Amino acid sequence: MVIARPFRPEDEADVVRMRKVAFGNQSPDWATPASTWWGVVAEDGDGVCGSLRAWNYRQFFGGVAVPMAGVASVTVDPHARGRGVAGALLVKSLERMRAEGQVVSTLFAATPPLYRAYGWERVGALETVTLPPAAFGWVAKPGEPTPLRRAREADLAEVHQLYLDIASTVDGMLDRSGPLFDITKILTLDTVDVVDGLRGFCSSSRRPHSETLDVYDIVARDADAGRALLAALATWSGQVDQICLRRFDPLIWDLLLSLPGHHTTAVEPIMLRIVDFAAAVAARGWPEGLPDFAVDLDIADEHAPWNAGKHRLVHESGKTRLEAGGDGEVRMTARALAAWYAGAATIADLNRAGLADGRAPLLDLASRAPRRLSIADSY
Ligand SMILES: CC(C)(COP(=O)(O)OP(=O)(O)OC[C@H]1O[C@@H](n2cnc3c(N)ncnc32)[C@H](O)[C@@H]1OP(=O)(O)O)[C@@H](O)C(=O)NCCC(=O)NCCS
């Protein structure tokens, strides 16, 4: 008999032991302030045999930062695997997320079938692109160079605001708020360069014992600022063999950087679950200019039964809400609901996958499907 219950401080030794076995490392950050996370453990007759942790994050959807539970460190003792322990942890965690007001949950999955079985679905990725420094030489514009300078402590509030202004336009990005994110830590990196007038910044560190530069963020308000930051990366030619950047700012990635035909992208898929459907609809932003509509949905969700049943999604005078009732015109599983909310799949494709049944083109208009979420922080 397996019981899942809240993590208590006296469980720490068991959790650290299990993490070491599962992931091959200790977990020094298990001591981070309790306000930033909560945990669930599973017990069988022999004691604690499984655990997970959920971080308190906020993630942008439609320009609004939505409370999100970032699930990590899902671990089951080897002797207890294959008996539903991880499933029990996930089901318990859904109850806690709902109680905490974490209306959606995302995670980086080493074992996607486990999370799909409990309603998470792949919706995007953290992408890291590796390029030779010479690839950045093609962005400079002839004429006056745009001056860069080192960031100072007094710049940090504006640096964070610049990050927020751009990140809020990219669904899936974290708002990096709260005690988990200390903006002053950015100054411990090798370089944080800003464009005069705080029109852009680039943070990076040389990777120890490697001819690699890791760029953490490269963000710009305008094209000249973006070009200046990218062109500065070309100056690493001869010093490093490769520059690794996390994909994020659409101006930098899609419009300024000339990606060579052959390059390597590391993709870490991210999966999303809708924890509380009505609250998740209310919490996020929706595209401007949507026509008024009402679509009746019938949701199957055995692990979060409060989401299950018939609902009407109503968009009226620029506001979107979920009401109980309707005739269930479009049927969706929990996985389909996640993919739809993120815009990661069209309703037609969800039908083809056997995850939805029924058509309503306005659902795709509302979710702006098909597209992919981006995130630039791992956990
Ligand atoms: C992955 C892990 C947590 C699964 O724990 P578990 O208690 O054995 O999982 P459950 O018995 O609850 O499995 C539920 C479903 O998940 C899926 N699943 C379980 N382990 C899986 C694995 N290693 N890979 C892919 N899918 C898996 C199966 O679909 C399973 O359903 P089934 O038994 O009907 O086929 C456990 O093997 C573990 O601790 N592994 C090492 C750490 C790890 O990889 N953690 C995940 C990080 S994202």
CA of 75 to the centre of ligand 1 (A): 9
- Assess whether 211 and 309 both reside in one domain: no
Q: Is residue 120 part of a domain?
A: no
Candidate of 74, 111, 271 to mutate for ligand 1, largest count of ligand atoms within 8 Å of Cβ? 111
Whether residue 255 is found in the same domain as residue 284? no
Residue 98 has pLDDT above 80, yes or no: yes
Mean pLDDT confidence for 130-156: 88
Looking at the structure of the chain, the number of domains it has is 3
Sign, CA dihedral 285-290-295-298, equals negative
Q: Is the CB of 24 under 6 A from ligand 1?
A: no
Q: What is the pLDDT of residues 116-126, one digit of tens each?
A: 999 999 999 99
- In CATH, what number is assigned to the domain containing residue 332? 3.30.1050.10
Within a domain: 42: yes
Measured from the CA of 80, which atom of ligand 1 is nearest?
7
Last residue of a domain, one of 232, 259, 286: 259
Q: How far does CA 175 lie from the centroid of its chain?
A: 10
Which of helix, strand or coil describes residue 176?
coil
Helix count and strand count (H, E) for the chain: 10, 18
Residue 52 counted as domain residue: yes
50-81 b/e with 16+ CB inside 10 Å = b? Answer: bbbbbbbbbbbbbeebbbbbbbbbbbbbeebe
Would the pLDDT of 26 be above 80?
Answer: no
As a whole number of angstroms, the distance between CA 300 and CA 22 comes to 33
The residue range of the domain holding 28 is 3-102
367 pLDDT more than 90: yes
Distance, CA 51 to ligand 1 centroid (Å)?
A: 12
**Running DSSP on this structure, what letter comes out for residue 104?**
E
Q: Is residue 287 part of a domain?
A: yes
Choose one of 83, 102, 121: the last residue of a domain.
Answer: 102
**For residues 223-228, average pLDDT:** 94
Long-range contacts of 345-353 (CB under 8 A, 24+ apart): 345/369, 345/370, 346/370
Compute the distance from residue 113 Cα to the ligand 1 centre, in Å.
Answer: 8
pLDDT of residue 362: 95
For atom 20 of ligand 1, the residue with the nearest CA is 114
Does one domain contain both 80 and 10?
Answer: yes
* pLDDT, tens digit, 9 for 90 and up, residues 257-315: 988 889 999 999 999 999 999 999 999 999 999 999 999 999 999 999 999 999 999 99
Q: Is 220 in the pocket of ligand 1 (CB under 6 A)?
A: no
Q: Whose CA is nearest to atom 13 of ligand 1?
A: 84
Q: Do 177 and 93 belong to one domain?
A: no
SS (H, E, C) 269-280: EEEEEECCHHHH
Q: Is the pLDDT confidence value at 342 over 90?
A: yes
| Judgement on whether residues 173 and 289 belong to the same structural domain of the protein | no
Over range 331-360, report the average pLDDT: 98
Amino acid at 4: A
Q: What is the arithmetic mean of pLDDT over 106-115? A: 97
Give the pLDDT band of residue 131 (cuts 50, 70, 90): very high
> Is residue 171 over pLDDT 90?
yes
Q: Are residues 253 and 277 in the same domain?
A: no
Same domain, 71 and 153: no
User: So what's the pLDDT on residue 144?
Assistant: 74
Q: Which whole number is the average pLDDT over 65-73?
A: 97
Residue 69 Cα, ligand 1 centroid: separation in angstroms?
Answer: 20
CATH number of the domain encompassing residue 55: 3.40.630.30
Q: Which residues contact 337 (CB under 8 A, 6 or more apart)?
A: 119, 274, 277, 299, 301, 307
Q: Let me know if residue 268 belongs to a domain.
A: no
Element (H, E) at 68: strand 64-76
Please check whether residue 47 lies inside any domain of the structure.
yes
Cα–Cα distance for residue pair 117/128, rounded to 1 Å:
28
What Rg, from alpha-carbon coordinates, does the chain have? 22
Mark whether 279 and 368 lie in a shared domain: yes
Confidence band, pLDDT 50/70/90 cuts, at residue 25: confident
**Shared-domain flag, residues 244 and 300:** no
Within a domain: 315: yes
Q: Is 84 in the pocket of ligand 1 (CB under 6 A)?
A: yes
Give the mean pLDDT of the chain. Answer: 95
Q: Indicate if 253 and 295 belong to the same structural domain.
A: no
Query: Is pLDDT at 195 greater than 80 in this prediction?
Result: yes
pLDDT at 33: 67
Mean pLDDT on 340-356 = 98
Mean pLDDT of 37-56: 96
**Quick check: CB of 109 below 6 Å from ligand 1?**
yes
**pLDDT recorded at residue 139:** 77
Tell whether pTM > 0.75.
yes
119 in any annotated domain: no
